[in-house]
A and B are shown apart, each in its own frame.
Chain A
């Protein structure tokens, strides 16, 4: 566990500078996102709304729009973006697989099935309606990943290949079940589909706080494992020889990343691409070591998601495009351009 072992991977510039710039950029983008909406709000009224909200005196139309509609939405987008990106970086690090993303172990298909079940059966089964979509989605996501992990487990080991394979297989089965639910209840299909494609339209303080309470500890746990992840990139055997408790770190990271993913998915639906692409983009732009990668991935995930949501609610306003469509449409070409630039 000598620091010198991982030092050569790090760049020469001190780490804080890009992080500070990135945080400032995130703040600017969030300010922009709060100032744009279908109802024009002048800057003074915007500030008034924020101040009134902080004081707890929300009154009047503008206050409601700024404090109860826009701000929770922007904050939630930032939290979810950070969570998905961080979880994606963690999965990519644990499995040392560039194709890994937060949904690798079935969290998305589990959450999707839970949400679809509630949307379809809420009318007939009162307790499902009381449970609500977010709680059901969260529970099903956690249960799916737990099932995948149990299936893949061999004694006290969690072989990466079996984890990935059982994740894919369980995920496909649940996706098929969700598709069937959609076809079997056509009048709910549009609602399910729009949930599956992701949206922050349902943001509210009431939804945001429980998610934040789950996300923050999970994010801190992932950030704390940065050095162990760096060592693990040398290979699991070498890392074990260097004293990293491989299985414990792996399990801890999987639990934290799954918690973060499930919490994000439960309120925002399945938003693809962020968890896959943002960590790679950050790696290409700022370097690979996890001590640098993880905090930057969180900030840029947040920034990318806030921008994507801003696009989602403005390009065809007053209608909305599912934010998952934006992340894939914009994120894909952007990432390919970055990849090509890196090669030349």
Chain B
């Protein structure tokens, strides 16, 4: 018995060394659940838009069989069966697709529900830039796409490094453009510690919201007037806010951003790109750099 066990263990070890990803593969996800894959997943359901983007960026788009309603990138995934979202999934339809891997977040509780139905699930989706880079590797290993994961990681890091180098070459006064990011008109904004805050930092900008207010605080309208941002990014433009309405707000007429015509309405694609910690993070930093430093990028 012991000999056989040792033999098997050695064999498994040898297999894992020989192959990029050795199956069966057992991993632990971010909620502490274990997932064992017998082979590279061929029927993947993604319930998170950024996970959908990552699967496709790793060249496994053809293995997706279902996605959540908000998954819209790359455009081809819109043709796949839609299964609601992680908070309100269509579980019947999900089960009927017979997925061999379900990707979801760690907050909604969907992972536990899917696992209870006997389906393999990985819970955990990146919230920060660094987590996203790590997640490329994790997903690459799950899907046997390690090489593609390294390439993707290198590409994103390369984009960000190129922007950082050009930001460093700017005159000191222009390296920290002050930005008011408006998530909705009440107004909610982003702190420097939030995901978008860190992207701004890499693109040579800084949120006017003090770090002490947290990641996604509701701010006093007076704060915007007091901090006098150089640029305003209207992330709520796809939901009805306009530059004209924003500029007409009390006290805004004297803002630097208004006088310089730098109140910018973002479209839905740009908002998605800036909100999802996924393969388009590099593009997002480039986009921000172009918006913050016109003519320089």
Contact between chains at A194 and B91 (CB < 8 Å): no
Q: Which B residues lie within 8 Å of A19 (CB)? A: none
Q: Which A residues lie within 8 Å of B69 (CB)? A: 319
Q: How close is B99's CB to chain A, nearest CB, in angstroms?
A: 11
3 nearest CB pairs, A to B: A318-B90, A39-B92, A39-B96
Contact between chains at A61 and B96 (CB < 8 Å): yes
Q: How close is B267's CB to chain A, nearest CB, in angstroms?
A: 22
Contact between chains at B88 and A319 (CB < 8 Å): yes
A201 on interface, CB distance cutoff 8 Å: yes
> SS class of chain B's interface: helix, strand, loop or mixed?
loop
- CA separation between A70 and B91, bound complex, in Å? 10
- CA separation between A204 and B109, bound complex, in Å? 13
- CA separation between A68 and B183, bound complex, in Å? 40
Q: How close is B172's CB to chain A, nearest CB, in angstroms?
A: 35
Among the listed stretches B8-16, B37-45, B112-120, B202-210, which one makes contact with chain A, having 4 or more residues with CB under 8 Å of it?
Answer: B112-120
A10 on interface, CB distance cutoff 8 Å: no
Contact between chains at B92 and A319 (CB < 8 Å): no
A187 with B91, Cβ < 8 A, contacts A61-B96, A68-B117, A318-B84 known: no
Q: Which A residues lie within 8 Å of B82 (CB)? A: 318
- CA separation between A190 and B117, bound complex, in Å? 25
Residues of chain B whose beta carbon lies under 8 Å from any beta carbon of chain A: 69, 82-84, 87-88, 90-93, 95-96, 98, 107-109, 113, 116-118, 183, 188, 216, 218
Residue of B93, B109, B116 near A68 (CB, 8 A) is B116
Q: Which A residues lie within 8 Å of B109 (CB)? A: 202
A38 with B88, Cβ < 8 A, contacts A187-B216, A204-B116 known: no
A186 on interface, CB distance cutoff 8 Å: yes
Residues of chain A whose beta carbon lies under 8 Å from any beta carbon of chain B: 37-39, 61, 64-65, 68-70, 122-123, 183, 186-188, 190-191, 194, 201-202, 204, 206, 317-320
Q: Which B residues lie within 8 Å of A317 (CB)? A: 90
Q: Which B residues lie within 8 Å of A183 (CB)? A: 218
Which of B69, B93, B96: most chain A CB closer than 10 A?
A: B96
Contact between chains at A65 and B88 (CB < 8 Å): no
Contact between chains at A190 and B113 (CB < 8 Å): no
Which of B87, B88, B93, B188: most chain A CB closer than 10 A?
A: B88
Q: How close is B145's CB to chain A, nearest CB, in angstroms?
A: 28
Residue of A65, A122, A186, A188 near B96 (CB, 8 A) is A65
Q: How close is A311's CB to chain B, nearest CB, in angstroms?
A: 15
Residue of B92, B107, B183, B218 near A38 (CB, 8 A) is B92
A319 with B216, Cβ < 8 A, contacts A64-B95, A65-B95, A69-B91 known: no
Contact between chains at A38 and B116 (CB < 8 Å): no
Q: How close is A185's CB to chain B, nearest CB, in angstroms?
A: 8
Instruction: Report the nearest B residue to A65, measured CB to CB.
Output: B92
- CA separation between A201 and B118, bound complex, in Å? 18
Contact between chains at B108 and A61 (CB < 8 Å): no
Instruction: Report the nearest A residue to B116, measured CB to CB.
Output: A204
A194 with B88, Cβ < 8 A, contacts A64-B118, A68-B117, A204-B113 known: yes
Q: How close is A88's CB to chain B, nearest CB, in angstroms?
A: 28
Could you write out 17 A-B pairs with CB less than 8 Å apart?
Answer: A38-B90, A38-B93, A39-B93, A39-B96, A64-B95, A64-B118, A68-B117, A69-B91, A186-B183, A190-B87, A191-B108, A202-B109, A317-B90, A318-B82, A318-B90, A319-B88, A320-B84
Contact between chains at A37 and B92 (CB < 8 Å): yes
- CA separation between A201 and B117, bound complex, in Å? 14
Q: Which A residues lie within 8 Å of B216 (CB)? A: 186-187
Q: How close is B219's CB to chain A, nearest CB, in angstroms?
A: 12
- CA separation between A194 and B108, bound complex, in Å? 12
- CA separation between A201 and B108, bound complex, in Å? 13
Instruction: Report the nearest B residue to A185, measured CB to CB.
Output: B216
- CA separation between A29 and B188, bound complex, in Å? 46
Residue of B87, B90, B95, B107 near A61 (CB, 8 A) is B95
Q: Which B residues lie within 8 Å of A191 (CB)? A: 87, 107-108
Q: Which B residues lie within 8 Å of A64 (CB)? A: 95, 117-118
Q: Which B residues lie within 8 Å of A122 (CB)? A: 107
Q: Which B residues lie within 8 Å of A61 (CB)? A: 95-96, 98
Q: Which A residues lie within 8 Å of B183 (CB)? A: 186
- CA separation between A201 and B94, bound complex, in Å? 14
A65-B92, A188-B107 known; 8 new pairs, CB 8 Å cut-off, are A39-B93, A64-B118, A68-B117, A186-B216, A201-B88, A317-B90, A318-B83, A319-B88
Instruction: Report the nearest A residue to B83, measured CB to CB.
Output: A318
Instruction: Report the nearest B residue to A41, measured CB to CB.
Output: B92
Q: How close is B144's CB to chain A, nearest CB, in angstroms?
A: 26
A320 with B88, Cβ < 8 A, contacts A64-B118, A68-B117, A183-B218 known: yes
Instruction: Report the nearest B residue to A183, measured CB to CB.
Output: B218
Contact between chains at B84 and A319 (CB < 8 Å): yes
Contact between chains at B95 and A186 (CB < 8 Å): no
Q: How close is A12's CB to chain B, nearest CB, in angstroms?
A: 48
Instruction: Report the nearest A residue to B183, measured CB to CB.
Output: A186
Q: Which B residues lie within 8 Å of A68 (CB)? A: 116-117
Instruction: Report the nearest A residue to B186, measured CB to CB.
Output: A183
Q: Which A residues lie within 8 Å of B98 (CB)? A: 61
Q: Which B residues lie within 8 Å of A319 (CB)? A: 69, 84, 88, 90
Q: Which B residues lie within 8 Å of A188 (CB)? A: 107
Q: How close is B204's CB to chain A, nearest CB, in angstroms?
A: 27
Contact between chains at A69 and B95 (CB < 8 Å): yes
- CA separation between A318 and B97, bound complex, in Å? 14
Q: How close is A183's CB to chain B, nearest CB, in angstroms?
A: 7
Contact between chains at B116 and A206 (CB < 8 Å): yes
- CA separation between A166 and B107, bound complex, in Å? 35
- CA separation between A123 and B109, bound complex, in Å? 12
Q: Which B residues lie within 8 Å of A204 (CB)? A: 113, 116
